[in-house]
Chain A
């Protein structure tokens, strides 16, 4: 959770750099609360991608949460409706990992424990976003202080984080090549959807693995 703080600040600074106001950046952190997809959102917004494609891409990056909520369902059956609502809203990667660990140890997952743990991540995420956005406003040219390389490297880190998954290399290769080709022949922003579809179709067609995998969590992610 402490390791998420630099990413909150980075998000805030880069959001402002991509045309967000400080308010927009904090609104996004407060309502989405999903770091990687927030970075994707500001990148695509900065590239002037159509709104529906921005929302769809954010949905796609967050899709892994479906596996988390399916998996923790058995531990939170005793929560009330409102408690479940909050539980799922706050279900970020480290929260999922800690909830599973706690259940594995045989301890009861109580709502108070869950909410307490969530606040240790949620509140710093908002504060660091705000500080980063204020800092971002003070920067003139982001290139001058090297901020422009951080988003592609950040996304590359996320891609590397999935490298234990089945068919990772063919999917990454197909999506990379297709996106470069689409950028060249069709133009931005279509390279995002065309490249993504190429990798996903390939994954659907490749031979299926035998075992069933646990969802892979990202190391630091909010």
Chain B
């Protein structure tokens, strides 16, 4: 569970990125954060993963956070297995190195994300999707109960987006992890998130069940681009997609949201 109460932050004396933000993301569920660039998504994630101290408010989490950064840089020439082993560092003293048990846990995590075959490959020679999965395995190897991901699928091709999203779904349902991720794709939130938090650049926000919050109206008000929600029925299954209509006349973004 992640409980955020009256959170607020600003850098120096700039304007508040967000204020009076109070939300609770329940255990063993998936939550998504959507919002335009510069609305404070990453700042909130950093606060949740304790690499930044908020100016206001408290964040309450049971256990430590497994943080998965974006796999943008690849200047690390460690093997994939060693990168995952780094997740064990919090359990190791200053003068100790990972042992047999830690290595077994690392391989277990690699197995979880389906990358055991690439364990001895160099991290900087992996593809973007594989690097993202390695970082995810590293968080899993730290035995976290809360998994926080910064745009885990943004830079991936469609096949790998599917791999990551399905993996998050499985981690929440079978391992009972609380998953929180940021995204620029409303489809990703609709696809797997139970709860969605919409953050605006003017510091306001709306949070609730994904279906109720991610409406055509709210998305259009937030981004200024008209959208249509399309529900598709294939055999027994139903899936929804958000289609942005860039051809239509756009409206002013950052309009007040409807809870």
A and B held together in a complex: no
